[in-house]
Amino acid sequence: MAKRPRERRCADLAVLATRFSWARKPLDYAKDKAQEGVEEVAKSPWRTAGAALAALVLIGLGVLALVGVDLPLMNAFTAVVLILSGLFLVGTVLFARRQEKLDQARAHRPPGRRGSAGAYRAAPLGD
């Protein structure tokens, strides 16, 4: 029996987690690992550059295959999947960088005063 792609298994796990409590723990683990990966890409400029380069390579190979360059093991479907994967990776990198900037901005905001709405951090008890 052929193995299913990881994304499909994760989607199946999400469906199972809605009905069975035993499936929630592996689903939470998968979500945590995905979030850790996004955070790692955002924190390291080298990893961000590597992910962006990989995305450009995926998109470039897909475009070359669609244009008609004869690449081994490539057809139109594979080319479209490569392009979509590259675009998804670009979106993930942009999302990760944006989240990192928002988190840094929140961490550097001054604390709010007691009784005021919208503070991101609690004010010291002495105020």
In terms of C-beta density within 10 A (0-12 exposed, 13-18 middle, 19 or more buried), how is residue 10 classed? middle
For the chain, the structural domain boundaries read: 39-109
Residue 61: predicted pLDDT? 93
Q: How many CA atoms are closer than 13 Å to the CA of 70, on its beta-carbon side?
A: 0
Residue 66 has a CB neighbour count (10 Å cut-off) of 15
Average pLDDT score, the chain: 79
- As a whole number, mean pLDDT of residues 87-104 equals 87
Give 22's pLDDT tier (boundaries 50, 70, 90).
Answer: confident
62 versus 39: the higher-pLDDT residue is 62
Q: pLDDT tens-digit profile of 29-44?
A: 888 888 888 888 888 8
